[in-house]
Chains A and B, each alone.
Chain A
Amino acid sequence: MLDEFQLAVKDLHVSIGKKEILKGVNLQIKKGEVHAIFGPNGSGKTTLLNALMGFEGYTVKGEIFFDGKDISHLPINERARLGIGISFQRPPVIRGVKLQRLIETSAKKNGNALEKYAKGLNLVDFLEREVNVGFSGGEIKRAELLQLILQDPDLVLLDEPESGVDLENIALIGEYTNYLLGKIREPNQDKTMKELHRERKKSGLIITHTGYILDYVDVDVGYILMQGQIACKANPRDMLHTIRECGFGECFRCFREEETSVKRKKG
């Protein structure tokens, strides 16, 4: 059944102009699961998230199911309204628009949530500032996280949420990513913590170059993306360990061998 999956991607091909960047990607993320994608620069990670979100400039072939519904022809805002949220690797600045204004325009959560999370993310003073104007690397990522938490999507796409963030703030990013994924729940009078835990159904797809975020966020499945293809699917901790020890060269070696062996079999 498709709709046990929050996201199901089938044979996704994405081109920019005439250049094919993604060459048949398959992915399935169950409700409540968080997956991570590793991969060298330029392997197509950002392209994958952007294509899932529906940004312009990409020619997309294949199928994208969100909660069982084919969304591959929907405009960006409809995907957002259905429950997909994205944190940008490098978001643009929006001059003259205050962060608070943007959040209030797009937020689903209300009440004192904005105040509370802005405080937690040390962004209270930033609410009155123009979106991303003069923000440091870490401030950008925290602001992205704040927007997403208030937007409250069911599927969270995070594009390198820890890049450009200093070590001290990575813990903060990690903690609030867990809020975003519903992994930390506030104690609630009506429900036990156990019930709350069982209820969480938020899913995530996290791109990470460094893997630091995995020190804070539990991830169920890891992938290596290489040259536009999923080269490997495995336990994310093992994967990260290998990458840290040997670099992506090792993955590349493995990937090549698989390719040649497939060819050999075919031949």
Chain B
Amino acid sequence: MSKEKKDKPQPAGDLDLTIYREETKEHPLLDDLSKLSPEDRRILLMTGVDPSGKERSGSFFQKDHSVIHCRTDFDGAEIMSTTTAREKYDGLTEYWGKLVPADKDVYTRRAEEHQEHGYYIRSLPGADVHYPLQACLYLTEDKLAQDVHNIVIAEEASNLNIITGCATAPGVRSGLHVGVSEFFVKKGATISFTMIHNWAEEMAVRPRSAVIVEEGGTFISNYICLVPAKDLQMYPAATLKGKGAVATFNSVLLAKPGSFMDVGSRIILQGEGCRGEVISRVVSTGGTVIARGHLVGEYPGIRAHLECKGLLLSDKGRIHAIPELEGTTSDLEMSHEAAVGKIAQEEVEYLMARGLSEQEATALIIKGFLSLDIVGLPADLKKELERMIEETDTEAM
């Protein structure tokens, strides 16, 4: 289809992949994440992953190409390497490559060729995985490529909370992370998926994600990236197939100088009474952000909204909001709202009149702007997110 081509945000194969190493050694297993070094633990915490496993239903930890830790503390859920899951469940043929075909682009192709694990997460029918399962993909070697394939399944009427953190260890400057993720939200199920990126400055990152939501299902994605990323490009898509299916994508991005982030979310609404929402908050202190959003309404009566707000704090930065609405039937309720601007001087002065320095005032405004009030986020995660925004380095701004 020619439409498909037009929708592709960037020509595939835009990165020089020859500079990354494909092979590395295996790491030994680790029975307890709290045995990680203090530095590693700190990075994990900043990525939403709690090494103590407290208030988590289970943990998965992949270091480079090795899954070194994996445990479940809740009977209603499974978490393991996708490689293990494929051995255990006949290749996961019902799911594998069904939403993100291997031949989609160069990155999905290389993920198919070079795949080293990734996580398989499944909530059993009717289970309430209240405390999130946490998965961490950790890169500890410079110039290494990490290609993972993740599968997430919420069986009928289950409730599944997930936190995934992707991070690089101290000392790593560059690397490649390619992650194919396929999400299946079955009838009446809910997935709340929070992904936090905490990369080294020179990382190239290519997530490739797709979601399918059946009747009465809900998919909530929260994506947070507050650290520089040299080259990040992703455009996850959720297809709402069943009656009353719902999807929400929230993104919070901070692009420091040298960052390039091309991030969007797409929702395709195909069933009666489906609803979708794409919300993003973007701050650039000198980096470039292309904030995309695409709503496709294919069923009469659906409702969807797209909102992108950008704050540009430097003349060297660039924020390009590209909201798209596409209807293929009449009787749709789709809207969008996009605004890109700088910090209002009036707001800074208001806070200064209360005694804050210009820098304190600016930092408070930025933090307020980023603190998107994410509905449906578990309370502890909300707190964690607030803490992360709080600890964001605004000195350089």
Convert A103-125 into 0s and 1s, putting 1 for each residue whose CB lies closer than 8 angstroms to a CB of B: 00110000000000000000000
- List residues of A (63-103) whose CB comes within 8 Å of B's CBs: 75-77, 80-81, 85-86, 88, 91-92, 94-97, 101-102
Task: Kindly state the separation between the CA atoms of A88 and B353 in the bound complex, as whole angstroms.
Answer: 10
Interface membership of A53, Cβ < 8 A: yes
Structural contact, A96 and B349, CB atoms closer than 8 A: no
Total A-B pairs in contact (CB under 8 Å)?
68
Task: Kindly state the separation between the CA atoms of A80 and B354 in the bound complex, as whole angstroms.
Answer: 6
Q: For residue B350, which residues in chain A have a CB less than 8 angstroms away from its CB?
A: 88, 91-92, 94
Structural contact, B367 and A92, CB atoms closer than 8 A: no
- List residues of A (28-80) whose CB comes within 8 Å of B's CBs: 53, 55-56, 75-77, 80
Q: List 23 A-B contacts (CB under 8 A).
A: A75-B352, A77-B353, A77-B357, A77-B358, A80-B352, A80-B354, A86-B353, A91-B350, A92-B344, A92-B347, A94-B351, A94-B364, A94-B368, A95-B368, A96-B368, A96-B369, A96-B372, A97-B365, A97-B367, A105-B351, A105-B364, A106-B351, A130-B368
Convert B335-378 into 0s and 1s, putting 1 for each residue whose CB lies closer than 8 angstroms to a CB of A: 00000000011110111111111101100110111111100000
Structural contact, A77 and B356, CB atoms closer than 8 A: yes
Structural contact, B351 and A56, CB atoms closer than 8 A: no
Structural contact, B352 and A77, CB atoms closer than 8 A: yes
Q: Which residue of A lies closest to B354 (CB)?
A: A106
Structural contact, A76 and B364, CB atoms closer than 8 A: no
Task: Kindly state the separation between the CA atoms of A96 and B367 in the bound complex, as whole angstroms.
Answer: 7
Which B residues form the contact surface with A (CB < 8 A)? 344-347, 349-358, 360-361, 364-365, 367-373
Smallest CB separation, B343 vs chain A (Å): 11
Smallest CB separation, B387 vs chain A (Å): 14
Q: For residue B347, which residues in chain A have a CB less than 8 angstroms away from its CB?
A: 92, 94
Interface centre among B354, B356, B368 (most CB of A within 10 A): B354
8 A-B pairs closest in CB distance: A96-B368, A106-B354, A97-B368, A76-B352, A80-B355, A96-B371, A77-B352, A92-B346
Interface membership of A151, Cβ < 8 A: yes
Smallest CB separation, A247 vs chain B (Å): 32
Task: Kindly state the separation between the CA atoms of A101 and B360 in the bound complex, as whole angstroms.
Answer: 13
Determine which of A76, A81, A95, A105 lies in contact with B349 in the assembled complex, contact meaning CB atoms within 8 Å.
Answer: A76
Interface centre among A81, A106, A130 (most CB of B within 10 A): A106
Q: For residue B344, which residues in chain A have a CB less than 8 angstroms away from its CB?
A: 92
Structural contact, A102 and B351, CB atoms closer than 8 A: yes
Task: Kindly state the separation between the CA atoms of A105 and B364 in the bound complex, as whole angstroms.
Answer: 10
Task: Kindly state the separation between the CA atoms of A86 and B360 in the bound complex, as whole angstroms.
Answer: 19
Interface centre among A77, A102, A130, A147 (most CB of B within 10 A): A77
**Given A56-B349, A92-B347, is A77 in contact with B370 using a C-beta cutoff of 8 Å?**
no
Determine which of B345, B355, B365, B368 lies in contact with A106 in the assembled complex, contact meaning CB atoms within 8 Å.
Answer: B355
Structural contact, B353 and A105, CB atoms closer than 8 A: no
- List residues of A (132-177) whose CB comes within 8 Å of B's CBs: 147, 151
Task: Kindly state the separation between the CA atoms of A185 and B356 in the bound complex, as whole angstroms.
Answer: 28
Smallest CB separation, B230 vs chain A (Å): 28
Task: Kindly state the separation between the CA atoms of A130 and B371 in the bound complex, as whole angstroms.
Answer: 11
Q: For residue B360, which residues in chain A have a CB less than 8 angstroms away from its CB?
A: 105
Q: For residue A56, which residues in chain B have a CB less than 8 angstroms away from its CB?
A: 345, 349
Structural contact, A95 and B354, CB atoms closer than 8 A: no
Task: Kindly state the separation between the CA atoms of A106 and B351 in the bound complex, as whole angstroms.
Answer: 8
Structural contact, B353 and A76, CB atoms closer than 8 A: yes
Task: Kindly state the separation between the CA atoms of A186 and B347 in the bound complex, as whole angstroms.
Answer: 34
Q: For residue B352, which residues in chain A have a CB less than 8 angstroms away from its CB?
A: 75-77, 80
Structural contact, A95 and B369, CB atoms closer than 8 A: yes
Q: For residue B373, which residues in chain A have a CB less than 8 angstroms away from its CB?
A: 96
Q: For residue B361, which residues in chain A have a CB less than 8 angstroms away from its CB?
A: 77
Structural contact, A80 and B365, CB atoms closer than 8 A: no
Smallest CB separation, B344 vs chain A (Å): 6
Task: Kindly state the separation between the CA atoms of A147 and B353 in the bound complex, as whole angstroms.
Answer: 11
Structural contact, B364 and A55, CB atoms closer than 8 A: no
Task: Kindly state the separation between the CA atoms of A77 and B364 in the bound complex, as whole angstroms.
Answer: 15
Structural contact, A105 and B356, CB atoms closer than 8 A: yes
**Given A95-B369, A96-B369, is A80 in contact with B353 using a C-beta cutoff of 8 Å?**
yes
Q: For residue A130, which residues in chain B have a CB less than 8 angstroms away from its CB?
A: 368
Smallest CB separation, B366 vs chain A (Å): 9
Q: Which residue of A lies closest to B366 (CB)?
A: A96
Q: For residue B355, which residues in chain A have a CB less than 8 angstroms away from its CB?
A: 77, 80-81, 106, 151
Q: For residue A55, which residues in chain B have a CB less than 8 angstroms away from its CB?
A: 349, 353
Q: Which residue of A lies closest to B372 (CB)?
A: A96
Task: Kindly state the separation between the CA atoms of A97 and B350 in the bound complex, as whole angstroms.
Answer: 13
Q: For residue B358, which residues in chain A have a CB less than 8 angstroms away from its CB?
A: 75, 77
Task: Kindly state the separation between the CA atoms of A147 and B354 in the bound complex, as whole angstroms.
Answer: 8
Q: For residue B345, which residues in chain A have a CB less than 8 angstroms away from its CB?
A: 56
Task: Kindly state the separation between the CA atoms of A196 and B31 in the bound complex, as whole angstroms.
Answer: 67
Smallest CB separation, B253 vs chain A (Å): 15
For the complex with contacts A94-B347, A96-B371, A151-B354, 11 further pairs of A-B residues with Cβ separation under 8 Å are: A55-B349, A80-B352, A88-B350, A88-B353, A92-B344, A94-B364, A94-B365, A105-B351, A105-B360, A106-B356, A151-B355
Structural contact, A96 and B351, CB atoms closer than 8 A: no
Q: For residue A80, which residues in chain B have a CB less than 8 angstroms away from its CB?
A: 352-355
